[in-house]
Amino acid sequence: MEGNPAPTTPKPPQISEMFQKFALAFKTKTFEFFADDDNNNNHPSDSDGLSLLDSTEDFITDQKVVVIKPDPPLNSSSSINNSFQSRTIDTQIAESLISSVFAAVSSFEASYLQLQTSHVPFVEESVKAADRALVSHLQRLSDLKRFYREFRKNPKFEAGLSLGSCLEAQVQENQSKLRTLETVSNRLQEEIDEKDNEVSSLRKKLAEIRWANTKLSKKLSGNLNSACDVLLTVRVFYSVLHDACRATHKFSKILIGLMRKAGWDLDLVANLVYPDIDYAKKGHNRFAFLSYVCLGMFRGFDVEGFDLSENEPLCNGNNATCALKQLLEHVSSNPMELLSRNQNCEYSRFCEKKYQELIHPAMESSIFSNLDRNEVVLNSWRSLSIFYESFVSMASSIWALHKLAFSFDPVVEIFQVERGVDFSMVYMEDVTKRYNLPGQTRVKMGFTVVPGFKIGRTVIQSQVYLSGLKCTG
């Protein structure tokens, strides 16, 4: 609804689409509300100023209504004065009535917006107050309609309803608009305050994260002594070695299963790996496969770069510190993600080289080509997920053990026992746990399953399979 435009009139507030539709419907129904009696009344006075209520166009307030009628007879001067006075009175009442309607509608609009705002968040007292205000504004509109009906029937009746002047109604209308703007402004200010609080909270969290990152960075870059005190112990090295052996056992078990499924003669293959071994028990040939995998993975362990390439500078500065940094970086990452993220890194090249050393192309083709194609997608060792993941896990544990070994000062030494030497309990351990009593007949060493290590004066025994020792259990 528009009044007489003024230079200082504020821009209407932006409300929801639903509320705009409601305001438009309310405006139309208001016109019909006051014009419903005109459809059944064809009195000539309907063409006076009150006929403006029958229009669905916007009203223009503060304007005089000019009504053009035929000239009266010359001999009726008194009737001219009465008619002019009646038209003036009717025009004033119509203007006051229309201004009152506009003021009531604006008040209703402001109260309805306050009712909407009170629901989010829900404030019971505010909802009740806005509801009472809405009822009072509707009652005001009902009173104006009743006044309009009585006035059309009898223009001279005296009503108890106070319309007030047009200026008073305009002041009330402008005050309602200000209330609407204030409601919208308060709601926007609440949203701004909420966003400011959220930004402040996020900035605080960001500052805490940056502080923690800085603290961790200082620990990793400049203060590795505490890490050395914790990591560089025999117990930690033995624990990492135990994890590497367990991963090697898992991969070997999967490899043996694939060979058996492909129809390989495991006894023949074990004899090719270590000829003429007198196994104490059927099924012990699995130690030959375990030895083949384990020694293959540890080949080059005594070289700083794990024998990946010759004459390649691996790090600058102290080698032990550099190896410790590489160890911390590796154990803090997922090995599968490392391979997918950077296929040219040292660890990725280590995996590729070790796989090529362990799994010959002819062996790979024989194992994978005989598998049921409904069970697995072939064409690559990376296609078989369980086989691939177990190999990566094994390679990761041995890579970490290598970095840990070169973090010691002096560097951890690796050794393995040659076939045929006498068994020594100082440097060897029977992988089958059969030879554990002193005073037994000396036996010869068949082959090394897991190499041994020397950390200063401490020896971690090599696990070996003894030849010629029959199983009693």
Which tens digits make up the pLDDT trace of 52-111?
333 333 433 444 443 444 445 544 444 444 444 444 456 777 777 788 888 878 888 787
Which one is predicted more confidently, 436 or 204? 204
Tokens representing 277 are 């071994």
- Whether the CB-CB separation of 325 and 231 falls below 8 Å is answered with no
The pLDDT of residue 60: 39
pLDDT at res. 370:
58
Task: Give the model's confidence band at 187: pLDDT under 50 very low, under 70 low, under 90 confident, else very high.
Answer: confident
pLDDT-derived band at 375 (thresholds 50, 70, 90) equals very low
pLDDT over 60 (residue 34)? no
Express each pLDDT in 232-287 by its tens digit: 889 999 999 999 999 999 999 999 988 888 889 999 999 999 998 988 888 899 99
> What's the rounded Cα separation, in Å, for the pair 218 and 225?
12
Tens digit of each residue's pLDDT (9 = 90 or more) over 292-327: 999 999 999 999 888 776 544 445 446 777 888 888
- Are 60 and 95 in contact by the 8 Å Cβ rule? The answer is no
Contact predicate 349/306, CB 8 Å: no
Q: Which residue has the higher pLDDT, 303 or 12?
A: 303
What would the DSSP string read from start to end of 63-131? Answer: -PPP---PPPPTT-HHHHHHHHHHHHHHHHHHHHHHHHHHHHHHHHHHHHHHHHHHHTTT-HHHHHHHH
406 neighbors 319 (Cβ within 8 angstroms): yes
Contacts 24+ apart (CB under 8 A), 131-140: 133/107, 134/108, 137/104, 137/107, 137/108, 137/111, 138/108, 140/100, 140/104, 140/107
- How far apart (Å, rounded) are the C-alpha atoms in residues 207 and 395? 38
CA atoms within 13 A on the CB side of 153: 9
Instruction: Please give the backbone phi and psi of residue 408, each rounded to the nearest 5 degrees, phi first.
Output: -75, 155
Q: Which residue has the tokens 């001067």?
A: 77
Between 76 and 291, the more confident residue is: 291
Query: Residue 57's CB: how many other CB atoms inside 10 A?
Result: 7
Domain layout of the chain by residue ranges: 17-197, 227-467
Whether the CA torsion 153, 155, 158, 162 is positive or negative: it is positive
In which residue are the tokens 């001219």 written?
80
DSSP 8-state class, residue 50: G
DSSP class of 53: G
Question: What distance in Å separates the CA atoms of residue 423 and residue 441, rounded to the nearest whole number?
Answer: 10
Q: Cα 2 to the chain's mean position, in Å?
A: 48
Q: Which of 169, 136, 163 is nearest to 147 (CA)?
A: 163
pLDDT band at 469 (very low <50, low <70, confident <90, very high): low
Q: Which residues pair with 466 in a beta bridge?
A: 445
The runs of H, that is alpha helices, within 310-452 are 319-331, 335-341, 346-358, 361-369, 385-405
pLDDT, tens digit, 9 for 90 and up, residues 125-157: 877 887 788 788 788 788 787 777 777 777 666
| Cβ-contact 54, 38 below 8 angstroms | yes
Residue 431 · residue 413 · CB < 8 Å: no
pLDDT of the residue at 226: 60
Region class of 233: left (phi > 0), else alpha (psi between -120 and 50), else beta? beta
Measured CA to CA, the distance from residue 460 to residue 446 in angstroms comes to 19
